[in-house]
Structure formats: structure tokens, C-alpha cells
């Protein structure tokens, strides 16, 4: 009897131990489960495009393809024809849906629910501007711009071949070539740039969303050394002045009354020469009263100074040409054009495109013959003492010299 009693006690003890272990196991399991439940979930990083967090929508990104229309795109995403017609007719001034450009990006944002309904359509008009069609309530259409930042930069280079190739070798935008050519158009013959000429420039570059370059915003200052002669240029503007202009370290305006050439990045193929003799004509005296600038067909021809168009026609050996009177003293003429871009009586500004290079009339190749009159007589423009623009008024000197002091120091500190 004692033995049975003892076995019973042992069985109860084992059962008690089993219950204890089971309790601990369950308790541990609950704790682990609770810990798993309390573990914080990872927060999804926002994916921002055009100011929208794409994580909040079912987003479809695409580009306009050949044959795509606004109506076809939205119909494919379940938008009614009535809504599309409403957008196309009532909001044309803000977003003309007929002018979708192949290759431009667009974004369709749909609700994250079972309806999967279009809430926004976004169309990239260009690198910066975009149109938004808001379909969340009543239809609303508006245009916005991506955030733009301006970053200060500097660059330099030594010319070995051409200014364009030097820019390319220094990973600079081709637009920099054009900007510098415009700044120094009155003081440097860019078709006579020499090996060893060099430049330094301080400028700002535009960036979209802090990452995508939108090109040069503004050149603040530059230094161009041509044939060993240093030429500084500082961009300066003041609310009392009509526009930004470039001046040297002595506040002299870099502009001149006339551009040095009517075509950018060209070369002189034939100079003004009153004693010219040509083999084809038996070496008879055939004076050349113009300066020929060789350039590719279709290159823009620029008015070298402000003035009024007095002739725009096609005539004999001159071919298609334009003549401009600048004042009572000076006139210029541009021969052998492919076509012109002005009419008699038009007032043109210095640098305006008045036509394009061709080879009409007596022309052995594509070029523009540039003729220059002073007091009714044809002269060589490169031998004239042409007037400069007025220097910066003395009332701005204190502000100007204060402004350029720091930037000139920065410019001088740039190595080639």
C-alpha cells in the first residue's frame, strides 16, 4: 500500500513539473509574439515626382508616343469622354491638350483602393514647367514649375584648336562658347582666335530638383586673354539701368557701335582690297569693296548695329541681300544670302538675325559679303575708328567697384 502511495506521489510531482514547463513555454511564446507585434514597421521612404509622393498612389509613368493623344491616354485609364472634353475645351489657355509632344513624360496617378480611379494627370511641358490636371473633385488644371537652384561654378581653359573644342575638352556646355562670344563680340575676332589664347569664367548653373542641370543661368565675370592682351568682363545690373551689361575693370562698356563680324565663328575668306586682281579676269583690276566671311549655308547673319532696313531684295551679282542705315554716317550691306528675315522699314537691333548664309548671285561658295559705308563711301570696317558705347555712369561707380572687387579676386585666383 505504501508503494502504491509513493508511486502516486511521484506521478503527481511529474505532472506538476510538466504543467510548470508548459506554462513557461506558453508564457515565452506569448512574450515573443507580443515582442513581434510591438516591433516597429519600416517607414516607406517617399518617392517624390512633380511634388507628389508616388507611394500614395497607383502611379503610371510613361512618355508620349507617336499617335498618342490626350483623349486616348486618359480613356485608356478609365476617364470618361465627357471629362476629357471638358478639360480640352474649358482649360485650353492653361493646357492645350492638342499640343502633346512625342517624347515628353507624363504621369497618371490613381487612387489606392478598389476603384483605382485617376486622380491626377501630369504632363511635362519642358525641363522645368509641367501641367497638372486635378480630377479629385471638380476638374482643375494648373501649371507649376519644378524647384530650381543656382550653383556657383568656375572654369578655365587654354585654346589649342577652337573655342568650341576647348569647351568640349573641359566638359563645358556648348552654350558657354556662345555666351563668351556674345560678351566679347565687340572686342575679339573669334574667327582669329589663336592657339594659346585662354579664358577663365565665373558663372551660375541652373539645377532642377537639385540634380538635373538646366544649363547656364548667368555669367558673372570672365577673363579672356587674346594675343597676350587680357580682357576682363563683369556683368553688372542696377534697377536704375535698363538691363544687365558687361564692363571692364575700369567701368568701360565692352559694347561697341558695331559688331566685328556679321557671322559667328566664321573666317575671312577675302578682305577689303581696292587693288585686287583676279587671274580668271586676266589679272585686270577688280576692286573688292567688301569683306567676305566664309560660313556654312544656313548660318545666321546678324545685324552688326542698330538701324533701319532700307533694302531687302535680290539683284544681279549681289544675289539676295539686305542693306541697313544705322545713322546719318554709317550703312551696312549683307550679300549672297540664302534668304532674308526682314522687310524694308523694319528697325533691327544689334545681333538680330536678318537672314541666312547662302551663295546667291556671283558667289563661288557659301559666304556673306559684308559691305560698310561711311558718309556714303565704301570703306574697310577694320580700319575705322568706330565709336564705343558710353561707359558706366559715374553715379554707379562706387557700387560697381565694390561689387567687382571680390569677384575679380576670385577670377584672378582661378588657375588655367
Quickly state the pLDDT bin for 88 (edges 50, 70, 90). Answer: very high
Separation between Cα atoms, residue 315 and residue 323, nearest integer Å: 12
Ranked by mean pLDDT, which of 29-33, 116-120, 371-375 comes out on top? 116-120
CATH of 48-145, one of 2.60.120.40, 3.10.450.350, 2.40.420.20, 3.30.9.10: 3.10.450.350
Mean pLDDT, rounded, for 190-203: 86
Neighbours of 80 (CB within 10 A): 10
Cell of 274: 581696292
Identify the CATH homologous superfamily for domain 267-383.
Answer: Glucose Permease (Domain IIA) (2.70.70.10)
366, 383, 364: which is closest to 374 by C-alpha?
Answer: 383
Quickly state the pLDDT bin for 16 (edges 50, 70, 90). Answer: low
**pTM beyond 0.75, yes or no:** no
Q: What is the pLDDT of residue 17?
A: 54
Convert the chain into a string of H (helix), E (strand) and C (coil): CHHHHHHHHHHHHHHHHHHHHHHHHHHHHHHHHHHHHHCCCCCCCCCEECCEEHHHCEEEEEECCCCCCHHHHHHCCCCCHHHHHHHHHHCCCCCCHHHCCCCCEEEEEECCCCCCCEEEEEEECCCCEEEEEECCCCCEEEEEECCEEEEEEEEEEECCCCHHHHHHHCCCCHHHHHHHHHHCCCCCCHHHCCCCCEEEEEEEEEEECCCEEEEEEEEEEEEEEECCEEEEEEEECCCCCCCCEEECCCCCECCECCCCCCCCCCEEEECCECCCEEHHHCCEECCECEEEEECCCCCEEECCCCEEEEEEEEEHHHEEEEEEECCCCEEEEEEEEEEECCCCCCEECCCCEEEEEECCCCCCCCEEEEEEEECCEECCHHHCCCCECCCCCHHHHHHHHHHHHHHHHHHHCCCC
Quickly state the pLDDT bin for 4 (edges 50, 70, 90). Answer: low
pLDDT(32) > 50: no
Tell me the pLDDT tens digit for each residue of 131-157.
Answer: 999 999 889 999 999 889 999 999 999
Least confident of 39-43, 132-136, 314-318, 359-363: 39-43
How many Cα atoms are found within 13 Å in the side-chain-facing hemisphere of 213?
11
Mean pLDDT over all residues of the chain? 85
Tell me the pLDDT tens digit for each residue of 154-174.
Answer: 999 998 888 888 888 888 888
Q: Are 414 and 232 in contact (CB under 8 A)?
A: no
Separation between Cα atoms, residue 391 and residue 403, nearest integer Å: 17
Quickly state the pLDDT bin for 33 (edges 50, 70, 90). Answer: very low
Q: Which is more confidently placed, 189 or 236?
A: 236
Quickly state the pLDDT bin for 22 (edges 50, 70, 90). Answer: very low
Looking at CATH, the fold of the domain delimited by 149-247 is given as Nuclear Transport Factor 2; Chain: A, (3.10.450)
Mean pLDDT, rounded, for 67-74: 95
Q: Where in the chain is the domain with CATH 3.10.450.350?
A: 48-145, 149-247
Separation between Cα atoms, residue 10 and residue 51, nearest integer Å: 74
Amino acid at each position: 500500500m505504501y508503494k502504491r502511495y509513493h508511486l502516486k506521489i511521484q506521478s503527481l510531482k511529474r505532472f506538476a513539473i510538466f504543467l510548470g514547463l508548459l506554462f513557461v513555454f506558453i508564457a515565452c511564446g506569448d512574450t515573443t509574439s507580443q515582442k513581434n507585434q510591438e516591433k516597429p514597421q519600416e517607414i516607406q521612404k517617399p518617392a517624390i515626382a512633380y511634388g507628389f509622393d508616388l507611394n500614395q498612389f497607383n502611379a503610371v509613368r510613361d512618355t508620349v508616343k507617336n499617335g498618342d493623344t490626350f483623349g486616348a491616354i486618359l480613356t485608356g485609364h478609365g476617364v470618361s469622354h465627357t471629362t476629357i472634353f471638358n478639360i480640352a475645351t474649358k482649360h485650353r489657355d492653361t493646357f492645350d491638350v492638342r499640343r502633346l509632344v512625342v517624347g515628353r513624360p507624363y504621369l497618371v496617378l490613381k487612387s489606392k483602393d478598389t476603384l483605382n480611379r485617376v486622380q491626377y494627370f501630369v504632363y511635362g511641358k519642358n525641363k522645368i514647367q509641367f501641367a497638372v490636371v486635378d480630377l479629385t473633385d471638380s476638374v482643375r488644371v494648373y501649371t507649376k514649375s519644378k524647384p530650381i537652384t543656382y550653383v556657383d561654378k568656375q572654369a578655365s581653359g587654354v585654346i589649342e584648336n577652337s573655342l568650341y573644342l576647348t569647351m568640349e575638352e573641359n566638359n563645358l556646355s556648348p552654350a558657354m562658347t556662345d555666351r563668351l562670344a556674345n560678351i566679347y563680340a565687340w572686342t575679339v575676332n573669334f574667327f582669329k582666335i589663336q592657339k594659346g589664347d585662354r579664358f577663365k569664367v565665373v558663372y551660375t548653373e541652373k539645377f532642377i530638383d537639385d540634380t538635373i542641370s538646366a544649363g547656364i543661368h548667368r555669367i558673372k565675370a570672365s577673363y579672356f586673354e587674346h594675343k597676350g592682351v587680357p580682357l576682363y568682363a563683369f556683368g553688372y545690373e542696377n534697377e536704375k539701368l535698363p538691363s544687365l551689361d558687361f564692363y571692364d575693370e575700369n567701368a568701360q562698356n565692352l559694347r561697341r557701335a558695331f559688331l566685328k563680324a556679321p557671322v559667328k565663328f566664321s573666317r575671312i575668306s577675302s578682305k577689303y582690297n581696292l587693288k585686287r586682281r583676279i587671274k580668271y579676269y586676266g589679272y585686270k583690276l577688280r576692286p573688292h569693296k567688301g569683306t567676305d566671311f566664309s560660313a556654312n549655308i544656313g548660318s545666321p547673319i546678324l545685324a552688326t548695329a542698330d538701324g533701319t532696313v532700307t533694302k531687302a531684295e535680290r539683284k544681279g551679282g549681289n544675289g539676295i541681300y539686305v542693306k541697313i542705315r544705322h545713322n546719318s554716317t554709317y550703312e551696312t550691306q549683307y550679300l549672297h544670302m540664302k534668304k532674308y528675315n526682314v522687310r524694308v522699314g523694319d528697325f533691327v537691333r544689334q545681333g538680330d538675325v536678318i537672314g541666312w548664309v547662302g551663295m546667291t548671285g556671283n558667289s563661288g561658295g557659301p559666304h556673306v559679303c559684308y559691305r560698310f559705308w561711311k558718309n556714303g563711301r565704301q570703306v574697310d570696317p577694320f580700319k575705322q575708328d568706330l565709336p564705343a558705347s558710353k561707359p558706366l555712369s559715374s553715379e554707379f561707380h562706387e557700387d560697381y567697384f565694390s561689387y567687382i572687387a571680390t569677384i575679380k579676386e576670385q577670377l584672378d585666383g582661378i588657375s588655367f
